């Protein structure tokens, strides 16, 4: 429940400015300004990388399930080549299994809500496909649920954390006005979880639709 409350508060925090300033933004674009605001939604597939850890001389393999996700994003297009993106994602619970000496046991599940800022650099092209590379940072609202295995609940820690990411992808424009596009995006996520019992990083592959208010 605490995890759901966090997500609800963040969504409200992101959507309220859009509602409050939508009219001002529309007037700005109609006045012929080059700067453009946009909004988008996407679904994703997250692959959290397995890792190995040595604990008291015993090697433990931490295995994660691939999981779906979804999110929203706000865009600010500075010019033809540079765009800023604020993205809020919800990566749904990934089961965590520990393997040692040939045995496996589920210890719980990991959920995370990354709130991130990304700078995109678009490559110059003369067609409707606009590829880009990106770099950014974010804050990860992490949650570890050991409800299925209460005996390990006290032995694991999963704090919220800052982190960085890089990305690459492309926009495929769907009309002549170049204000609606399909977006394909791949991000590598790396939160700073070195002080936690469970360190993790992930690849997040997303597809969505974006609309620019121009």
Domain architecture of the chain: domains with CATH: 2-212 (2.40.160.20)
Query: What does the pLDDT read at residue 29?
Result: 35
- The helix/strand/coil state of 66 is coil
Of 124-133, 152-161, 163-172, the one with minimum mean pLDDT is: 152-161
Residue range 34-51: average pLDDT?
89
Q: Which tokens in the block code for residue 128? A: 């409707």
Q: According to the per-residue pLDDT averaged within each range, which of 46-50, 145-149, 170-174 is highest?
A: 170-174
Average pLDDT score, the chain:
79
Residue range 186-204: average pLDDT?
82
Q: What is the pLDDT of residues 126-157, one digit of tens each?
A: 889 999 999 999 999 988 887 555 555 455 66
Query: What does the pLDDT read at residue 54?
Result: 72
State how far the Cα of 179 lies from the Cα of 28, in Å rounded to an integer.
15
Residue range 206-211: average pLDDT?
96
The percent of residues above 70 in pLDDT, for the chain, comes to: 75
Phi, psi of 194 (to 5 degrees): -65, -30
- The helix/strand/coil state of 62 is strand
Residue range 4-22: average pLDDT?
44
Query: What does the pLDDT read at residue 131?
Result: 96
DSSP 126: S
């Amino acid at each position: 429940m605490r995890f759901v409350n966090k997500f609800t508060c963040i969504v409200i925090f992101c959507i309220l400015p859009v509602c409050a300033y939508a009219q001002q933004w529309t007037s700005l674009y109609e006045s012929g300004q080059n700067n453009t605001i946009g909004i988008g939604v996407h679904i994703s597939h997250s692959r959290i990388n397995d890792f190995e850890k040595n604990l008291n001389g015993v090697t433990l393999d931490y295995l994660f399930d691939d999981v779906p996700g979804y999110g929203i994003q706000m865009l600010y297009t500075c010019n033809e080549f540079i765009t800023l993106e604020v993205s809020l994602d919800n990566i749904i619970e990934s089961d965590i299994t520990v393997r040692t000496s040939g045995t496996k046991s589920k210890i719980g599940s990991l959920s995370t809500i990354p709130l991130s800022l990304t700078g995109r650099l678009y490559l110059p092209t003369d067609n409707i496909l606009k590829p880009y590379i990106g770099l950014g940072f974010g804050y990860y609202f992490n949650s570890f649920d050991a409800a299925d295995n209460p005996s390990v609940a006290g032995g694991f820690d999963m704090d919220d954390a800052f982190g960085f990411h890089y990305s690459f992808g492309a926009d495929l424009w769907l009309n002549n006005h170049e204000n609606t596009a399909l977006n394909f995006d791949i991000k590598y996520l790396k939160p700073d979880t070195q002080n936690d019992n469970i360190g993790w990083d992930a690849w997040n592959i997303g597809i969505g639709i974006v609309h620019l208010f121009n």
